[in-house]
């Protein structure tokens, strides 16, 4: 199934206020909080105890499964507590709190990994703690491992950065282009069947496009695709189609159509880790929004509280109405300024009370704007109607028939809805209902087998 043109047709404000600002490294905070779940998959398992002295880059939690990722100390100091942390998505996970000694002493265990084939590359990337730094948080080693199981011919480097405000990937492309080049060279060396490397970048980043085109001008295997500035250009299925014209079917992975997708900052970090052996302990973050006094790009230890980042940019211009992990389209609201940034936090967006106040919700007027805005041609009104059906069997059947599983929760439908209806939230409720229903069926089947 193919469509003409590009997927995605929603125009949103860019507000790339910090695109020209180099990332500034901040002083280590007094303490960090490191949740054991900073990625898709199983939470990591702590391997330190309260009172232990730790150094930067020391492993403090082991990956607990195939789809999991280790956690490393981002500051040197002492483990003060292992506690429960309520994530923005409502899940409670263990977290390790470290009181910083202010020294940022590197662990003696840090050494560049030996890589000489795909197997050792995957092993190194797994040990680095790298997950998708664009926000999805899928362990990168699992993606690379997929090369052994599927015929991958194309690697897509996601530099779209389509959310308003966020420019941390932009700064990576401008400041760390040498690492990006080394990352591509590494993938070319150990992924011999891959014939095409495509950078997908929105056209509102002309400096990035120019720099990467110059960087790879003599490399026929690398192409820089200039994409329209239409949200959600950075969505995985969207960028795959818009750069290759390949469609990832419902329930399938990019590898099923011969692709893997890597965020551009993930690629640069991989190259840096192979040179230095320093695992993922810090990241670049955009701090911006209508309530931020002096927007900046910062480099901060993972686990840094939001409060420290806001203080580093001069504080707020007014009382913040909402503070978001990520951007305003797909980000999640923070409950407190004491909450920590994680591996997947590309931005902290602080909005004014005026911008955060939800307008009144009115009845659906059946205008069809949500259908027109959906990048994968779903009908959100059908999902809302299905959730109102009386029987759970009927609700789930209707939701699945309407392809709710294809929804990427990009927020386009809610953004364009003149009735201000909570369409994305409805879709999340529907997905949760499908998961619960299927889990219930599995439990019933197990009980039947046990009789």
Q: pLDDT value at position 212?
A: 98
- pLDDT of amino acid 451: 59
Euclidean distance between CA atoms 343 and 203, whole angstroms: 27
pLDDT of residue 353: 92
User: Measuring CA to CA, which residue among 340, 301, 331, 310 is closest to residue 85?
Assistant: 340
Which two structure tokens, joined as six digits, stand for 354?
A: 């005026």
Tell me the helices (H) and strands (E) count for the chain, helix number first. 14, 17
pLDDT tens-digit profile of 425-447?
999 999 999 999 999 888 888 88
pLDDT confidence of residue 5 = 55
CA distance 156 to 231: 18
Q: Are 222 and 199 in contact (CB under 8 A)?
A: yes
> What domains does the chain contain, in order, with CATH numbers?
118-276 (3.40.50.11540), 369-450 (no CATH)
- Residue 1 has a pLDDT of 38
pLDDT of amino acid 90: 82
Provide mean pLDDT across the span 53-75: 96
The chain-wide mean pLDDT, for the chain, equals 94
Residue 57, token pair as written in the block: 């880059």
pLDDT digits (tens, 9 = 90+) for 221-278: 999 999 999 999 999 999 999 999 999 998 899 999 999 999 999 999 999 999 999 9
Q: 78 has which bridge partners?
A: 53, 99
Alpha-carbon span 361 to 429, nearest angstrom: 18
**pLDDT for residue 3:** 44
Q: Kindly report, residue by residue over 118-139, the tens digit of the pLDDT.
A: 999 999 999 999 999 987 889 9
Between helix 118-128 and helix 177-190 the angle, nearest 10°, is 140
197 bridge partner residues: 155, 222
User: Cβ contacts of residue 320 below 8 Å, gap of 6+?
Assistant: 291, 350, 351, 352, 353, 356
Region 33-61 average pLDDT:
96
Helix, strand, coil percent content, the chain, rounded in steps of 5: 35, 20, 45
pLDDT digits (tens, 9 = 90+) for 262-304: 999 999 999 999 999 999 999 999 999 999 999 999 999 999 9
pLDDT at 136: 80
**pLDDT tier at 320, thresholds 50, 70, 90:** confident
pLDDT at 71: 98
DSSP 3-state assignment of 286?
Answer: strand
Residue 8 confidence (pLDDT) above 70: no
Give the C-alpha separation, 196 to 433, whole Å.
40
**Does residue 36 carry a pLDDT above 70?**
yes
């Amino acid at each position: 199934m193919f469509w003409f043109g590009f997927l995605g047709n929603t125009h949103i404000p860019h507000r790339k206020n910090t695109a020209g600002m180099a990332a500034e490294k901040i002083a280590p905070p007094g303490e960090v909080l490191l949740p054991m779940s900073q990625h898709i998959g199983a939470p990591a398992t702590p391997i330190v105890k309260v009172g232990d002295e730790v150094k930067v880059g020391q492993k403090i939690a082991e990956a607990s499964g195939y789809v999991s990722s280790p956690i490393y100390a981002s500051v040197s100091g002492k483990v003060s507590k292992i506690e429960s942390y309520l994530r923005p998505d409502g899940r409670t996970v263990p977290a390790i709190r470290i009181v910083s000694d202010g020294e940022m002493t590197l662990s003696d265990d840090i050494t560049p990994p030996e890589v000489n084939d795909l197997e050792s590359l995957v092993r190194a990337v797994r040990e680095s703690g790298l997950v998708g730094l664009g926000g999805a948080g899928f362990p990168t080693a699992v993606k690379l491992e997929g090369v052994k199981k599927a015929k991958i011919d194309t690697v897509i480097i996601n530099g779209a950065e389509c959310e308003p405000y966020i420019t941390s990937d932009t700064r990576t492309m401008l400041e760390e282009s040498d690492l990006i080049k080394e990352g591509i060279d590494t993938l070319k060396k150990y992924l011999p069947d891959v014939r095409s490397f495509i950078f997908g970048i929105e056209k509102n980043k002309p400096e990035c496009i120019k720099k990467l085109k110059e960087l790879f001008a003599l490399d026929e295997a690398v192409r820089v695709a200039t994409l329209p500035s239409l949200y959600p250009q950075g969505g995985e299925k969207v960028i795959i189609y818009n750069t290759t014209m390949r469609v990832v079917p419902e329930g399938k992975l990019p590898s099923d159509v011969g692709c893997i997708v890597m965020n551009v900052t993930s690629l640069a970090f991989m190259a840096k880790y192979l040179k230095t052996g320093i695992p993922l302990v810090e990241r670049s973050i955009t701090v911006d929004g209508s309530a931020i006094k002096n927007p900046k790009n910062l480099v901060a230890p993972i686990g840094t509280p939001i409060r420290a980042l806001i203080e580093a940019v001069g504080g707020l211009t007014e009382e913040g109405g909402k503070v978001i992990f990520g951007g305003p389209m797909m980000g999640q609201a923070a409950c407190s300024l004491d909450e920590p940034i994680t591996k997947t936090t590309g931005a902290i967006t602080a909005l004014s009370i005026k911008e955060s106040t939800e307008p009144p919700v009115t009845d659906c007027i059946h205008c069809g704007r949500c259908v027109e805005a959906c990048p994968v041609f779903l009908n959100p009104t059908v999902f809302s109607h299905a959730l109102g059906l009386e029987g759970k069997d009927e609700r789930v059947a209707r939701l699945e028939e309407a392809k709710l599983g294809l929804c990427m929760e990009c927020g386009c439908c809610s953004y364009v809805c003149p009735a201000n209806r909570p369409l994305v939230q409805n879709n999340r409720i529907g997905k949760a209902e499908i998961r619960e229903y299927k889990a219930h069926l599995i439990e019933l089947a197990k009980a039947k087998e046990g009789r």
